[in-house]
Amino acid sequence: MKQSVFLGTLAATTLFAGMALAQGTSTLDTVKARGELNCGVNTGLVGFAAPDASGNWQGFDVALCKAVAGAIFGDASKVVYIPTTSSDRFEQLTSGKIDFLIRNTTWTFSRDTDLNMDFVGVNYYDGQGFMVRKDLGVSSAKELNGATICIQTGTTTELNLADYFKANNMTYTAVPIETNAEGEQQYLAGACDAYTTDASGLAATRAAFADPENHIILPEIISKEPLGPAVRHGDSAWGDVIRWTMNALVAAEEFGITSANIEELATSSQNPEIQRLLGTSDNLGAMIGLDADWAKNAIKASGNYGEIFAATIGESTPIGLARGLNAQWTQGGLLYTPPFR
Amino acid sequence: MNTSTSTFVRTEMLPEQSPPLTEAGAVKWVRENLFSSVLNGILTVLGVAVVAYIIVGIAPWLSRSVWNAGSLSECRQIIAATWGEGVTGACWAVIRERWPQYLFGFYPSHLYWRPVLAFALLVVAVAPVLFDKLPRKMLWFSLVYPAVGFWLLWGGSVWVPVTALAGFAIGYAAAKLIQPVAGTILATIAAVLAPVLWWLFLAGPVADALHSIMPIALQGVRSREFGGFVLAFTIGFTGIAFSLPLGVMLALGRQSDMFIVNKLSVGFIEFIRGVPLITLLFTASLLLNYFLPPGTDFDIILRVIIMVVLFAAAYIAEVVRGGLAALPRGQYEAADALGLDYWKAQRLIIMPQALKISIPGIVSTFIGLFKDTTLVVFVGLLDPLKGITDAVRASTDWKGIYWEPYIFVGAIFFLFCFGMSRYSMYLESKLKTDHR
């Protein structure tokens, strides 16, 4: 008797815990009640997420956290940055430790479906490239036959590299490395002819060399690496909040709304699209459970997409990335937000 | 004695002669220690060559150290301007600029005095444990220190650590009350059960009530703001302090004749020792979330500390068991013959000897534990070695820096581990009672 009661209680507790996790209240309500946004970011990636000397997080991914916090609370500082590693990031999300993941994570089929995540968009279109020494005399990745290549193990880049060399009937010797910093050391020490990782990472790495002029990044981009934020599978309402906050930043650049002129445009603009976006005419915010001026607060957090890009990874920063695919669709890029209507 | 024989015998001492040149001073030492045979001579030359090679390689780099710069590129400019183009040098400016981050992680900067004070008090608390010449009354502070340290580091209401401490007092009181009435076994059970019930059901409400009557609180600091050496020391020292008693209990449990106690101890020790620490840390950080109801905020550092304590305790248990096994059977029998009960025999006769034998092993385990605290980087906590270093390296100013942070963090760890090692040698020589 006693035992069956005990087992019954145990089963009920487990069931209850499981149900609570599965159903729960919506993530937006949880976040609002908590008063803080738990944002899963990289433990440190140049330009995308890094704490400064006084511990304030900064970077391209971090700016999206701030924008979402701005959209929800009207206060971009209400973010708790939770550093996630490449091995525990998905677990952190599915177990509910973080509200959403923005950690330069590539949107792939298996991650979207099998890992029970929902990618809500792309905030940076990246691709894998190669860096070599200039005196190697190589000007194209097609000439890398037989080369030794430094490559991070356990990442999509490793698989892309194998695919590319197989497709082009070439061979290579892989020098496995664990982290980007180790890769730099190995490459500089001459342990490998070429270093391969995402093009944004290559640019940042090269910029940090003592002699950047002696290294070139080869023109071939051998893979698609759309990096974007992800939420838990089935958390659609919450996904909408993230997706449309990101779209608002992109739309703001398209409409010419910057952090400098946003207050002025909010009161005086006659453009109906700007009025809708900034909440002066329609109340779009109510449809996703936010205030009318959600987009305005999101943009005010760190500016529109173009401003964020320029401040964190753009050509005026040491990383010096060109907009490339990440330009507006009107400029030949891929940024194209659905209409705010 | 006549004079004819005395011519063959010296009547005065010869003056002392200095030993042959090859048998005295530096030459003798070199001959005996460095070149005593052909093989040793070759090894000496090789060894000197290796050391010289390393020094020649590192010394120029170290001698060109830059301490004042805002970024790696500025460092390089200064090195180029001071020592000429094309040379490399050490850029310690990164340590100088990120010093608070290495020490405190993201701990709020206006509260830095709290970890510093906690560390200073830790020294006071540990001193009487380490050196028996200090007044024994100081041990009372050592007993209270965990609560003080917790309060200083995490802040919050003072009543939380106070009620937690009260649990031990309650356990003691329960044992004292029940012992005369119901005997030792029930008293032992009560001593365990009463505090657990107190902590589970009463401590929280009582702390809240006391706080509403007399609100004494420090500004709260959350676990994820911990980082750097504050994190390493918090985990390391808590682990050391709690794993030793737990390890001793497990060692005794494994020696025990009681079936369940014995099998549980063996199972626990073998399981924990058979699993890598990283697996335990991942379990603590991720797997637990699936079982706990959502919204439960079970502190991440607490989870890590629990896992580290369990891990170290399993190793300590085996080390102590080695010490127990080394004791002659006669010691146990002597304790029995004196009429001591089990706990008195352990406390007065067995453990002092067994622990003395186990000192090197125990300290080795502690040193390993302290260094293993850097593994918490895999559960997203910012340990000094990789967590903070990666974060520092991810800023555009310091990207590309590699050796300096590792050397710095390595030096600090060496300092503490070497200190522990020297203390263990001091303790061994102090406790040495045999006459070898």
Q: Domain segments of chain A: what residues? A: 13-125+227-331, 128-222
Cα separation, B256 vs B261, whole angstroms? 7
Cα separation, A156 vs A225, whole angstroms? 9
Residue type, B89: G
Res A24: pLDDT: 54
Res B23: pLDDT: 78
Res A6: pLDDT: 43
List the single best residue of B283, B390, B407 to mutate versus A (max A Cβ within 10 A): B390
Residues 6+ apart with CB under 8 A from A286: A292
Cα separation, B150 vs B138, whole angstroms? 19
Domain B99-107+223-436, CATH among 3.30.70.1430, 3.40.30.10, 1.10.3720.10, 1.10.10.10: 1.10.3720.10
Sheet holding A147-152, edge to edge: A172-177, A147-152, A194-198, A128-133, A215-217
Residues 6+ apart with CB under 8 A from B303: B284, B285, B288
Place of tokens 């050509």: A315
Residue A124 host element (H or E): strand A124-126
Cβ distance A95 to B286 less than 8 Å, yes or no, reads yes
Of B109, B292, B387, Cβ closest to residue A43: B387
Instruction: From residue B331, give the alpha-carbon distance in Å to each of A96, A285, B241.
Output: 56, 79, 28
Q: Which fold has domain A128-222?
A: D-Maltodextrin-Binding Protein; domain 2 (3.40.190)
Cβ distance A88 to B289 less than 8 Å, yes or no, reads no
**Which residues on A lie below 8 Å from B399 (Cβ)?**
46, 204-205, 207-208, 318
pLDDT value at B4 more than 60 = no
Q: Report pLDDT digits (tens) over A75-110.
A: 999 999 998 887 788 888 988 889 999 998 889 998
Rounded to a whole number of angstroms, the distance from the CA of B382 to the nearest CA of chain A is: 8
Confidence of residue B124 (pLDDT cuts 50, 70, 90): very high
Task: Provide, rounded to the nearest whole percent, the portion of chain A with pLDDT above 90.
Answer: 59
Q: What angle do CA B347, B349, B354 make, to 5 degrees?
A: 90
Rounded to a whole number of angstroms, the distance from the CA of A207 to the nearest CA of chain B is: 9
User: Model ipTM?
Assistant: 0.79
Q: Report pLDDT digits (tens) over B42-52.
A: 999 999 999 99
Record the pTM.
Answer: 0.83
Q: What is the mean pLDDT of chain B?
A: 88
Mean pLDDT of the region B293-319: 87
Res A155: pLDDT: 75
Res A8: pLDDT: 44
Greater pLDDT, B167 or A86: B167
Cα separation, B87 vs B76, whole angstroms? 9
The CATH class that applies to domain A13-125+227-331 reads alpha beta
Residue B432's Cβ-side half-sphere holds a number of Cα atoms within 13 Å equal to: 9
DSSP per residue, B385-402: IIIIHHHHHTSTTTTT--
Rounded to a whole number of angstroms, the distance from the CA of A231 to the nearest CA of chain B is: 16
Task: Provide, rounded to the nearest whole percent, the portion of chain B with pLDDT above 70.
Answer: 97
Res B211: pLDDT: 85
Res B404: pLDDT: 92
Res A9: pLDDT: 45
Mean pLDDT of the region B3-25: 76
Residues 149-208 in B contacting A (C-alpha not used; CB under 8 Å)? none
Res A11: pLDDT: 44
pLDDT value at B374 more than 50 = yes
Confidence of residue B296 (pLDDT cuts 50, 70, 90): low
Q: Report pLDDT digits (tens) over A204-215.
A: 888 888 888 899
Domain ranges of chain B: 20-94, 99-107+223-436
Q: Report pLDDT digits (tens) over A35-49.
A: 999 999 988 888 999
**Which residues on B lie below 8 Å from A204 (Cβ)?**
396, 399
Name the token pair of B389. Answer: 């270093």
Q: What is the CA radius of gyration of chain A?
A: 23
Cβ distance A44 to B289 less than 8 Å, yes or no, reads no
Res A4: pLDDT: 44
Q: Report pLDDT digits (tens) over B388-406.
A: 998 898 888 898 888 999 9
Q: Report pLDDT digits (tens) over A222-248.
A: 999 999 999 999 899 999 999 999 999
Cα separation, A239 vs B148, whole angstroms? 44
Greater pLDDT, A26 or B262: B262
Res A17: pLDDT: 44
Closest CA to A106 of A240, A40, A39, A198: A198
**Which residues on B lie below 8 Å from A42 (Cβ)?**
394
Of A30, A46, A55, Cβ closest to residue B394: A46
Closest CA to B359 of B265, B415, B308, B429: B429
**Which residues on A lie below 8 Å from B391 (Cβ)?**
43-44, 50-51, 83
* Local structure of A37: helix, strand or coil: strand
Dihedral sign for Cα A298, A299, A302, A306, please.
positive
Residue type, B435: H
Q: What is the mean pLDDT of chain A?
A: 87
Of A53, A87, A318, Cβ closest to residue B97: A53
Cβ distance A88 to B393 less than 8 Å, yes or no, reads no
Residue B153's Cβ-side half-sphere holds a number of Cα atoms within 13 Å equal to: 28
Q: Report pLDDT digits (tens) over A241-269.
A: 999 999 999 999 999 999 999 999 999 88
* Contact with chain A for residue B87, Cβ under 8 A: no
Res B294: pLDDT: 63
Mean pLDDT of the region A161-183: 90
Closest CA to A253 of A189, A305, A311: A305
Residue A244 and residue A236 in contact, taking contact as beta carbons nearer than 8 Å? no
DSSP per residue, B159-218: HHHHHHHHHHHHHHHHHHHHHHHH-HHHHHHHHHHHHHHIIIIIHHHHHHHHHHHS--EE
Instruction: Compute the count of residue pairs across chains A and B with CB atoms less than 8 Å apart.
Output: 105
* Contact with chain A for residue B120, Cβ under 8 A: no
Cα separation, B368 vs B360, whole angstroms? 12
Res A7: pLDDT: 42
* Contact with chain A for residue B365, Cβ under 8 A: no
* Contact with chain A for residue B378, Cβ under 8 A: yes
Q: Which range, A251-260, B19-28, B29-38, B378-387, has the best average confidence (pLDDT)? A: A251-260
pLDDT value at B326 more than 70 = yes
Helix axes B93-104, B72-83, angle to 10 degrees: 150
Mean pLDDT of the region B63-71: 91
Mean pLDDT of the region B3-14: 71
* Contact with chain A for residue B379, Cβ under 8 A: yes
